[in-house]
Amino acid sequence: MQKTIEKLKELTKDVVLLEHAVATLSWDQETYMPPKAIGEKGEQLALLQGILHEKITSSDIGKLLDDLGADDNNPAGKSDSLSPTNSAYIKETYRQYKIQTRLSKKLVTDLALETSLSQASWIEARKKSDFSLFQPHLEKVLELTKQKAEAVGYKETPYDALLDEFEPWSTTKEVADIFNSTQPWLTDFIGKIKNSKQVDDSFLLKDFDISKQEIFGRKVLQDMGYTYDRGRLDVSVHPFTTTLGKDDIRLTTRYQKDFFKTGLFGIIHECGHGLYELGFGDKVRGNLLASGTSLGIHESQSRTWENVIGRSMSFWKYYYPELQKYFPENLTGISLNEFYRGINKVEPSLIRVEADEVTYNLHIILRFQLEQELISGALSAGDLPDAWNKKTKDFFGITPDTDANGVLQDIHWPMGAFGYFPTYALGNLYSAQFSSVMEKDINVNESLENGNLSDILDWLRNKIHIHGASKSAEELVLDISGEKLNPEYFKKYLENKYKQIYNL
Amino acid sequence: MQKTIEKLKELTKDVVLLEHAVATLSWDQETYMPPKAIGEKGEQLALLQGILHEKITSSDIGKLLDDLGADDNNPAGKSDSLSPTNSAYIKETYRQYKIQTRLSKKLVTDLALETSLSQASWIEARKKSDFSLFQPHLEKVLELTKQKAEAVGYKETPYDALLDEFEPWSTTKEVADIFNSTQPWLTDFIGKIKNSKQVDDSFLLKDFDISKQEIFGRKVLQDMGYTYDRGRLDVSVHPFTTTLGKDDIRLTTRYQKDFFKTGLFGIIHECGHGLYELGFGDKVRGNLLASGTSLGIHESQSRTWENVIGRSMSFWKYYYPELQKYFPENLTGISLNEFYRGINKVEPSLIRVEADEVTYNLHIILRFQLEQELISGALSAGDLPDAWNKKTKDFFGITPDTDANGVLQDIHWPMGAFGYFPTYALGNLYSAQFSSVMEKDINVNESLENGNLSDILDWLRNKIHIHGASKSAEELVLDISGEKLNPEYFKKYLENKYKQIYNL
């Protein structure tokens, strides 16, 4: 038994190494690649994805999983004598093996190739704010994505198959139920804020020297516990975190001269992702369980750092005097309280990644609804811009001025990541639920006011990071908070914070 | 027949794509990788090298080569009706197939893994100038390299097998004969220079702002015809040029604040390599023939740009006034003639990459002799530093002050590239031979004095670059100059140039 598991780990190690090689090529594509290299980069990625597919679907792995008794009813195999980590290892291997064996190598490489080209067309389309440049690529990617969903299979709707890739063991219905229960509350809460006196954040829209933004951002990164011996920070169009090796977890961000929040909160957000990957314990490090257990949980880490911590009064009690020294021309005379209210301004807006934490989940629900329609066929790619604009008007009362500020703003559809968006909103919900426990365990505010971020990192590491994917999202949230994912925590978190800011 | 060749091209395309993926990981390793990532990077590279090995040795390729009648006596197959490019394609595929089928996958991956670790140890050893940190790795790499030579096979000496990897179809004896015929002449010529009045280059050892060095270097790069839509320039410990895709040819350099020549001439040198790879014609672009036909020919391109052009009076007639504007604090009052003599100062020295073009080939002959002894077993890794120092004293009359400035200066042995060094000296010889023809075909000096580098690039592109590896080094030099490689061209080139500079 032990020998079979060791053999399985040996075979799946190549899968992990190849995933990291793919991540290296993708990171390069987003950061340093010369523009004309895109065509062949797509071919290279398609080839590697094909080889990866061969590896994970190898009959050797199938045979070992068989020997361990893993099947749809017993994804972790049939033995009772396994350690929890080994059970989780078999379960995760089975999940990936099962999905991948249902996909043809052709479909995998076609998807890799098309999504690479589609991302390139999206960059161009976004630059020119011209959806028509992207539309034919979106159509191809959608067609392949539908084929993928059919091949993988699902219980109720093709979207289930897509969601499972990012949020394993979750269903469309579960997510829809949670979103449906928060949407009216959010709309109502935003309405109350709208009727209150708006806060002033005009001082954040001044000229913030980018090199100083970077220095300050790197200072916070260091305080958060991120180190450059196992990582990097670079610039890309769309910020992301990626794992190129068990000791190579890289962040990217982007800076806007006239919008201070993008750079710093982007860095803190990505660093939250990075610390998760850097914190995997020895039992999972470098193997198939060395990944976020779901993207929702992953996002809970970035959102905890970005919002619960990074937009808190206590955090800025420590950092604001320092920030004022960096940007005296903009921040002299702006009190801590004004600054705190400014960075937490709630306002319906067009761009998801710049949205405040109250309106943010509405951006997600919008995308969640649209992508379900795209996958079901109820909505065609050509009709997407109109549908996008209409829903933006419904949800936020505003209409995008350009496609670049509307339907073309996100990289996810260009990269074929349908089913990904909901994980962002789930992340906010998980974050609130985890944080409420963390605040009982340690004195978060006191730590923050002393500029001590290590207690927080330790808590997150021991409760969440260390496990990697050896505990499912559901197990994690149950272990930590004693209950299933419950959106009430998020509502309470928002209420506490914003009632004070907006005097509701 | 045509169908068989098309099938062969299709199969070997994956080989090219994988080579580029490997190049991406290696480029990353030398430029942006965080230090702790090195261990797994080695594993990733080993895995990819193993897959590459599987691809090129696949029985499908073997079968096609068989069908085409390719064997040791007819590496290009048996048909007379093939185009020269298709013949060359078969020949090159057969060469790679033959070599790789003789290597076990284990040996290939062991070499990839060990050389990756060995490079990391070399970086550390060089930094601390402590050979003992590198020695155990060198021993392992040497052992594996000997196994490689035995597996590949050779006619006279194991070193033949290693040389052939970099300078296909050349033998140790041929190279030794050429070197033996130039060594006494070089020693004699250097002696004459030593007895002349030395030129002054102290103005090059002042403080040259690195960011200005970079701007000037990039200006020259642009004038040479290098563009960032298909390339990049970054910084690495050891400068190199690498191909990550048919439209992705990247250069690196390094800058020294107090030694002006390193940065600029490094950039010009690497750009010479880059232009070769960027100039491959449509018949070879993106396929197995899209490579320098030998490293000697590759080096002829970098050396032509660096030395024949970049260190010529005509080049600086155009660029020197501009350079003076960049660095008035160092160059005001230094005449063009003084500058020209300064950048061409001949002096026995410790560091190969900083050596002048007269003493340079002696550095190579030193390494060529030592590495033959390492491979034959006449010299052990442990005795290498002493042997290195002794030979440096014999050849140059000086002894390295540290191992960093001696035996640890080059990356080649750490990366397992035995048989590589001689190609540098061959490059100098080819360069002189090609240039003598180029100077008959076009008015090189007039072009240079007008800052017009495109005539030169066109000549090199049409005569050399466009062919990629579809003509062997021997064919190229014969086609262009009407004779085989002849070191007399190089002697004449040096004599003409340095008799004037040193009033011999």
Query: For A467-480, what is each residue's pLDDT tens digit?
Result: 999 999 999 999 99
pLDDT at A237: 85
Report pLDDT for A35.
93
**Res A381: pLDDT:** 97
Chain A: closest CA distance from residue B449 (Å): 32
Residue B113: per-residue pLDDT: 87
Chain B hits for A229, CB-CB cut-off 8 Å, are 34-36
What was the pLDDT predicted at B39?
Answer: 86
Chain A residue numbers touching B229 (CB-CB < 8 A): 34-36
Residue B179 tokens, joined: 């070197």
Residue with the larger pLDDT of the pair B101 and A259: B101
- B248 vs A32: CB contact, 8 Å cut-off? no
The whole-angstrom distance between A47's CA and the closest CA on chain B is 7
pLDDT at B371: 98
pLDDT at res. A79:
83
Question: In this complex, do B44 and A36 lie within 8 Å of one another by their Cβ atoms?
Answer: no
- Beta sheet of A231-235, edge-to-edge order: A231-235, A248-253, A241-245
Answer yes or no: do B17 and A44 touch at CB < 8 A: yes
Q: Quick one: pLDDT at residue B237? A: 85
Lowest model confidence (mean pLDDT) among A14-18, B78-82, B491-495: B78-82
The dihedral built from the CA positions of residue A490, A495, A496 and A500, taken in this order, carries a sign that is positive
Structure tokens given for A408? 């073309």
Whether chain A has a CB inside 8 Å of the CB on B229: the answer is yes
Output the pLDDT for position B354: 86
Residue from B13, B24, B30 whose CB has the most chain A CBs within 10 Å, to mutate: B24
Answer whether B347 touches A (CB < 8 Å).
Answer: no
Contact A28 B33 (CB under 8 A): no
Q: What is the rounded distance in angstroms from the CA atom of residue B364 to the CA atom of residue B352?
A: 8
CB-CB neighbors (< 8 A) of B43 in chain A: 17
CA distance A27 to chain B (A): 10
Residue B218, pLDDT > 90, answer yes
Q: What is the pTM of this model?
A: 0.93
Q: Cβ of A44 and B245 within 8 Å?
A: yes
| Catalytically annotated residue among B19, B165, B270, B371 | B270
CA angle B202, B206, B212 (to 5 degrees): 130
Interchain contact, B247 vs A51, CB within 8 Å = no
Query: Using the beta-carbon criterion (under 8 Å), do A40 and B245 form an inter-chain contact?
Result: yes
> Which residues does A361 contact at the CB level (< 8 Å), separation at least 6?
A179, A182, A186, A425, A428
Q: Do B33 and A248 touch (CB under 8 A)?
A: yes
Helix (H) or strand (E) holding A252: strand A248-253
Three-class SS state of A71: coil
**Encoded tokens for B86:** 């298709």
The answer to whether residue B105 scores a pLDDT higher than 90 is: no
How high does pLDDT run on average in chain A?
96
Residues found in chain A:
504
Selected for mutation to probe chain A from B11, B22, B33, B233 (highest A CB count within 10 Å) is: B33
Contact A248 B20 (CB under 8 A): no
Q: With cut-offs at 50, 70 and 90, classify the pLDDT of residue B158.
A: very high
Q: Supply the ipTM of this predicted assembly.
A: 0.92
Instruction: Render pLDDT for B281-305 as a digit per residue (tens, 0 to 9).
Output: 999 998 999 999 999 999 999 999 9
Q: Which residues of B touch A25 (CB under 8 A)?
A: 21, 24
Q: How many CB pairs under 8 A join A and B?
A: 101
Q: What is the pLDDT of residue B449?
A: 98
Whether residue B28 and residue A244 make contact (CB cut-off 8 A), yes or no, is: yes
A247–B44 CB contact, under 8 Å = no
What confidence tier does B91 reach under pLDDT thresholds 50, 70, 90?
very high
Question: Two tokens at B300?
Answer: 């002829």
| CA-to-CA separations, A87 to A73, A143, A351, B63, B159, in angstroms, rounded | 14, 36, 42, 45, 52
Residue B353 has pLDDT above 90, yes or no: no
What is the chain B residue with the closest CA to A228? B34
pLDDT of residue A116: 85
For residue A26, the chain B residues in CB contact (below 8 A) are none
Average pLDDT, integer, range A282-290: 94
Q: Quick check: is B92 catalytic?
A: no
Q: Chain B residues with CB inside 8 Å of A53's CB?
A: none
Can you give the pLDDT at residue B1?
82
Q: What tens digit of pLDDT does each residue of A184-242 get?
A: 999 999 999 999 999 999 999 999 999 999 999 999 999 999 999 999 999 998 899 99
* DSSP code string of B201-245: -GGGGS---HHHHHHHHHHHHHHHT--TTS--EEE-SS--EEEEE
Token pair in block for residue A371: 């992508």
Contact B248/A34, CB-based, under 8 Å?
A: yes
pLDDT grade, residue A2 (50/70/90)? confident
Phi-psi region of B503 (alpha: psi -120 to 50; beta: other; left: phi over 0): left
Nearest chain B alpha carbon to A248: B37
Q: Where in chain B is the domain with CATH 1.10.1370.30?
A: 172-501
Q: Is A200 helix (H, G, I), strand (E, B) or coil?
A: coil
Q: How many CA atoms lie within 13 A of A310 on its CB side?
A: 28
Distance CA A101, CA A97 (A): 6
Partner A contacted by B124 (CB < 8 A): no
Which pLDDT does position A185 carry in this prediction? 97
Residues of A in contact with B28 (CB under 8 A): 24, 28, 244
Q: Flag whether residue B7 sits within 8 Å of chain A, measured between CB atoms.
A: no
Specify the pLDDT at position B305.
Answer: 98
Q: How confident is the model at residue A467, as a pLDDT?
A: 98
Residue B290 contacts A, CB cutoff 8 Å: no
Chain B contact for A290 (CB, 8 A cutoff): no
CA gap A331, B131 in Å, rounded: 54
A231 in contact with B at a CB cutoff of 8 Å?
Answer: yes
Q: Which of B25, B58, B232 to mutate to test the interface with A (most CBs of A within 10 A)?
A: B25
Average pLDDT over residues A7-20: 96
DSSP secondary structure string for all residues of B53-105 = HHHHT-HHHHHHHHHTT--SS-TT-S-SSS-HHHHHHHHHHHHHHHHHHHS-H
Catalytic position from the list A30, A167, A270, A277 = A270
**Rounded distance, CA A212 to CA A325, Å?**
11
CA distance B17 to chain A (A): 5
Cα dihedral B320, B325, B331, B335 sign: positive
Average pLDDT of the segment spanning A389-409: 96
- Subunit contact A34:B246, Cβ cutoff 8 A: no
What is the average pLDDT across B43-69?
Answer: 95
Distance from CA of B21 to the nearest CA of A (A): 7
- Is residue A232 within 8 A of residue A251, CB to CB? The reply is yes
Q: Do B245 and A25 touch (CB under 8 A)?
A: no
B235 touches chain A (CB under 8 A): no
List the Cα angle B374/B380/B385 in 5-degree steps: 95
Mutate to test the interface with A, among B44, B56, B124, B241 (most CBs of A within 10 A): B44
Please write the tens of the pLDDT for every residue from B240-286: 999 999 999 999 999 999 989 999 999 999 999 999 999 999 999 98
**Residue B195's pLDDT is what?**
95
CATH of domain B172-501: 1.10.1370.30
Smallest Cα–Cα separation from A37: which of B247, B133, B211, B425? B247
Contact A37 B247 (CB under 8 A): yes
DSSP state of A76: T
DSSP state of A307: I
Give the closest-approach CA distance of A282 to chain B in angstroms.
Answer: 15
In A57-171, alpha helices (H): 59-67, 84-102, 105-128, 131-152, 158-166
Q: What percentage of chain B reaches a pLDDT higher than 70?
A: 100
Contact B18, B52 (CB under 8 A): yes
What CATH code is assigned to A173-502? 1.10.1370.30
Q: What is the pLDDT of residues A34-85, one digit of tens each?
A: 999 998 998 999 999 999 999 999 999 999 999 999 998 999 998 888 899 9
Identify which of A40, A48, A248 has the shortest CB distance to residue B248: A40
Confidence of residue A357 (pLDDT cuts 50, 70, 90): very high
**Min CA distance, B191 vs chain A (Å)?**
47
Does pLDDT of B238 surpass 90? no
User: Residues A161-168: what's their mean pLDDT?
Assistant: 95
- Residue in A closest to B231 by C-alpha: A34
A 32-71 → B contacts, CB under 8 A: 32-37, 39-41, 43-44, 47-48, 51
Q: How close A312 gets to chain B, by Cα (Å)?
A: 32
Question: Is the model's pLDDT at B419 over the cut of 90?
Answer: yes
Beta carbons of B144 and B110 less than 8 angstroms apart: yes
Mean pLDDT for the stretch of residues B127-137: 97
pLDDT greater than 90 at residue B334: yes
Nearest to A400 by CA among A346, A368, A352: A352
What residues of A are in contact with residue B244 (Cβ under 8 Å)? 28, 33, 37
Chain B closest CA to A18's CA: distance in Å?
A: 7
The Cα B473–Cα B481 span in angstroms is 12
Look at residue A276 in the predicted model and tell me its pLDDT.
Answer: 98
**Residue A1 pLDDT > 90, yes or no?**
no
Q: Report CB contact under 8 Å: B247, A32.
A: no
> Binning pLDDT at 50, 70 and 90, where does residue B116 land?
confident
Across the interface, whether the CB atoms of B37 and A230 are under 8 A apart is answered yes
